[in-house]
Amino acid sequence: MAFDSISYKNIYNIDKTNKVSRVLLILLAALIACLFLPWTQNIRTKGNVTTLRQEQRAQGVTTIIPGRIMKWYIKEGDIVQAGDTIAQLTEVKEDYLDPALLVRTGEQLTAKEQSITYYQEKTTAQQNQITNLQSSLEIKTNQLKNKIQQQRVKIKSDSANLIAARNDYQIANKQYARQKELYDQGLVSLTQLEQRNQSLQSFQARMIANENNLTNSRQELLITNLELGGAQQEYMEKMNKAQSEIMQSMTQIASGQGDISKLKNQYSNYKNRAQLYFIIAPQNGQIVQAKKSGIGEIIKDGETIAEIVPTEMDYAVELFIEPLDIPLVNIGQSIRFVFDGFPAIVFSGWPSASYGTFGGKIVAIENAVSPNGKYRILVKENKKDKPWPKQLRLGAGAQAIALLKDVPVWYELWRNINGFPPDFYQSKNDVSKKKLK
């Protein structure tokens, strides 16, 4: 019986205390405590590394003019500086094949400028001619006006002479009448009568001569007035003709100046086109994905011959968010990243406990939906957080965790069990702006 008692005690340990219940209570208490720990709600998505500025993204190196590749100065993978020559082209259009095209265009420009100079000199000569005609017209006008004035004085003199001759004629006629009466009475001789008659005829002839002189003077005045009008008309026709020639010359000058502007534009285009035969790098970067190869290959205007990736850029990450989650994000919100190729241990609910993640801030949210049915957002590096790796390259993958509101673990479990969405997130900036308002 003693042996059975010892075996019973060793098998059932009835005299020892059971610790399982204590462990279970501790685990239960720890589990309940964990339910009250803070949990950061989040949205997970994927994206790619890009840049904030368009000029820092990969771009095509294009040619403005068509041509034939004559020489390559670089190869794929080479690092170039802004202004370095990538390739040299030769002309393929027949309008520009003349090797002395610039020289000949310059000669045409010089000839046209000389032609304008000649027309300007001709215009100056015609203006001088008009000035001389005006001076001649003034002199001729003064001469004729003086002649008209003299003729008017002469008419007055002839009028006075005619009046005196008429008076003398009337007196002689009266004397002849009285002499004839005396002759009829026999008081005077025939000789005396004939003398009176002869004197009467002389006064009559003198009166007629004065009338003719007055008529001639008046006719001369009329002729002089007509001559003055004719002279003015003649000189005006000459000046109008010279003015018309001046206008024609000015038309030629204006047309020539238009041709000069056109030739200058053409000359500048030819000169600039000659510089476009060399395709140069628009910025510092690496040459990748050459689209053309070999020597002598023809390329069209605006065609890409290679791509250049800038060596200096401000990295960013483009993410695509589901339309359901887009109200939960806004500018300034914190984002955590895990970049492809960089090891990380992630606890999405406890970002502070994660390892190998990098911080960012949302800087842009597009209002239009992308072709994949999601909204695109841009995230830049958070300067207050750990700097992003220098080994990042454009197009590298990134897994993003958008940090939302801090809630207890039990609330997050309850939300997921019921299928409720995360709480609406507001950044500190938005909250402070509302308080200010």
Pick the more confident residue, 280 or 16.
280
Q: What is the dihedral of CA 119, 120, 125, 128, to 10 degrees?
A: 140
Please tell me the predicted confidence (pLDDT) of residue 436: 47
Query: Can you tell me the mean pLDDT for 307-321?
Result: 87
Residues 6+ apart with CB under 8 A from 340: 396, 397, 398, 399
Query: Can you tell me the mean pLDDT for 39-65?
Result: 83
Number of Cβ within a 10 Å radius of residue 239: 18
Please tell me the predicted confidence (pLDDT) of residue 18: 61
pLDDT digits (tens, 9 = 90+) for 264-296: 898 888 888 888 889 999 889 989 888 887 788
Mean of the per-residue pLDDT values of the chain: 81
Is 42 a residue whose pLDDT tops 50?
yes
Please tell me the predicted confidence (pLDDT) of residue 354: 61
Give dist(CA 220, CA 228) in Å, integer.
12
Is 428 a residue whose pLDDT tops 70?
no
Residues 6+ apart with CB under 8 A from 204: 169, 172
Q: Hey, is 13 helix, strand or coil?
A: coil
Give dist(CA 38, CA 16) in Å, integer.
41
Q: DSSP letters of 199-253?
A: HHHHHHHHHHHHHHHHHHHHHHHHHHHHHHHHHHHHHHHHHHHHHHHHHHHHHHH
Please tell me the predicted confidence (pLDDT) of residue 329: 80
Model confidence band, residue 386 (pLDDT cutoffs 50, 70, 90): confident
Give dist(CA 233, CA 137) in Å, integer.
10
In terms of C-beta density within 10 A (0-12 exposed, 13-18 middle, 19 or more buried), how is residue 43 classed? buried
Lowest-pLDDT choice from 62-66, 168-172, 236-240, 254-258: 168-172
Please tell me the predicted confidence (pLDDT) of residue 100: 84
Model confidence band, residue 40 (pLDDT cutoffs 50, 70, 90): low
Query: Can you tell me the mean pLDDT for 333-359?
Result: 72
pLDDT digits (tens, 9 = 90+) for 201-218: 888 888 888 888 888 888
Question: Among residues 286, 320, 316, which one has the least CA distance to residue 388?
Answer: 316
Q: DSSP letters of 29-61?
A: HHHHHHHTSEEEEEEEEEEEEEESSGGGS-EEE
Q: Would you tell me which CATH number, out of the four given (2.60.40.10, 3.60.21.70, 3.90.1150.10, 2.40.50.100), belongs to the domain 59-89+277-309? A: 2.40.50.100
Model confidence band, residue 186 (pLDDT cutoffs 50, 70, 90): confident
Q: Which two tokens stand for residue 159?
A: 């009028």
Q: Which two tokens stand for residue 295?
A: 């020597």
Please tell me the predicted confidence (pLDDT) of residue 9: 55
Architecture of domain 38-57+313-436: Beta Barrel (2.40)
Q: Which two tokens stand for residue 369?
A: 């939906």
Model confidence band, residue 378 (pLDDT cutoffs 50, 70, 90): very high
Pick the more confident residue, 107 or 192.
107
| Domain boundary assignment for the chain | 38-57+313-436, 59-89+277-309, 101-275
Q: Which phi and psi (to 5°) does residue 365 adopt?
A: -130, 115
Please tell me the predicted confidence (pLDDT) of residue 433: 47
Q: Would you tell me which CATH number, out of the four given (1.10.10, 1.20.120, 3.40.50, 1.10.287), belongs to the domain 101-275? A: 1.10.287
**Is residue 278 a contact partner of residue 88, using CB atoms and an 8 Å limit?**
yes
Query: Can you tell me the mean pLDDT for 99-106?
Result: 85
Please tell me the predicted confidence (pLDDT) of residue 46: 86
Query: Can you tell me the mean pLDDT for 234-253?
Result: 88
Please tell me the predicted confidence (pLDDT) of residue 355: 64
Residues 6+ apart with CB under 8 A from 240: none
